[in-house]
Amino acid sequence: MKTLKIIKIGGNIIDDSKALSDFLKQFAKLEGLKVLVHGGGKSASKLADQMHVPVKMYKGRRITDSDTLDIITMVYAGKINTTIVAQLQANHCNSIGFSGADGNTIISEKRPVTPIDFGFVGDIKTVDTSVLELLLTNNITPVFCAITHDVKGQLLNTNADTIASELAIGFAKTFKTELYYCFEKNGVLENVADDNSVIQQINTETYQTLIDQGVIADGMLPKLTNCFNAINHNVCKVCIGKPDMLFQSKSIHTTIQK
């Protein structure tokens, strides 16, 4: 069974053009089958501010009204996605941009309005990897933005970490899938103020202890929920850390295990 790497990038990597360019040069050289998933929340918030569209958040999650959805579509599926694809082509990595609507790959449903109305936010229902597998067998790398659809013509803003996790689960039937969450930190930190306090191994038991101790909280909670969802659905490895973990065998990062 071939190995497939699902790699999600976000945070400062997306927002810093040099960091993104450096990452994509390295990513292009990465051997084997791979899928790239990207966020872009900060860029969307910046454009919203320029267009005088209020950014509304609830517990770290974006509330997506129709104006915000327009901005997200422009930024995620437009500027960021096509820029990444163009840079990968420049680095001799043939790639193609995707939203969940393309190839009917990821179908979501609009999140229920209770306890709060998140607007046009999608919760993933099904993933179909057949079109993606066709591309991968022809050495074409899919690049996913954080947008899905509901099969009724409605686009939905969808968490990029969840998209990466669900794609990894969907591919697990055909490939030995590995999931990597790349961001600006070295991994899950025991002390948020100390970037060297990396917790290198987390399993189901230690995860609950870390939550009880308040070590894992805020934005790291949903990320780790996605990690364990993947591990519990036949994804063989999940890693969190700086992009170096993909390219350097001795890099320090967090590995999630059962």
Q: What percent of the chain has pLDDT over 70?
A: 100
What confidence score (pLDDT) does residue 65 get? 96
What confidence score (pLDDT) does residue 130 get? 97
| Residue 40 Cα distances to 77, 157, 183, 217, 237, angstroms | 10, 11, 12, 22, 25
- How confident is the model over 205-214, as pLDDT tens digits? 898 888 888 8
Whether 257 shows a pLDDT value over 90: the answer reads: no
Total of domains in the chain: 1
Nearest partner of 132 among 108, 106, 153, 158, judged by Cα: 106
List beta partners, residue 148. 156
Task: Give the residue carrying structure tokens 């968490």.
Answer: 159
What confidence score (pLDDT) does residue 174 get? 95
Greatest alpha-carbon pair distance for the chain in Å reads 50
- How confident is the model over 80-102, as pLDDT tens digits? 999 999 999 999 999 999 999 99
Task: Give the residue carrying structure tokens 């292009």.
Answer: 28
CA 51 to chain centre: 26
Read off the pLDDT of each residue in 104-131 and give the average, rounded to a whole number: 96
* CATH of residue 227: 3.40.1160.10
What confidence score (pLDDT) does residue 158 get? 97
What confidence score (pLDDT) does residue 205 get? 86
DSSP secondary structure of 47-105:
HHHHTTPPPEEETTEEEB-HHHHHHHIIIIIIIIHHHHHHHHHHTT--EEEE-TTGGG-
What confidence score (pLDDT) does residue 202 get? 94
- Quote the CA–CA distance of 214 and 138 in Å, as a whole number: 46
Whether 59 shows a pLDDT value over 90: the answer reads: no
Whether 71 shows a pLDDT value over 90: the answer reads: yes
- How confident is the model over 144-178, as pLDDT tens digits? 999 999 999 999 999 999 999 999 999 999 999 99
DSSP secondary structure of 147-207:
EEE-SSS-EEE--HHHHHHHHHHHHTTTSEEEEEEE-SSSSSBSSTT-TT-B--EE-HHHH
pTM: 0.95
Domain that holds residue 251: 3-256
Nearest partner of 231 among 209, 254, 250, judged by Cα: 254
Nearest partner of 110 among 77, 70, 65, judged by Cα: 65
Give residue 111's identity as a one-letter amino acid code.
R
Q: Encoding tokens for residue 8?
A: 């999600």
Phi, psi of 118 (to 5 degrees): -85, -5
Give residue 77's identity as a one-letter amino acid code.
A
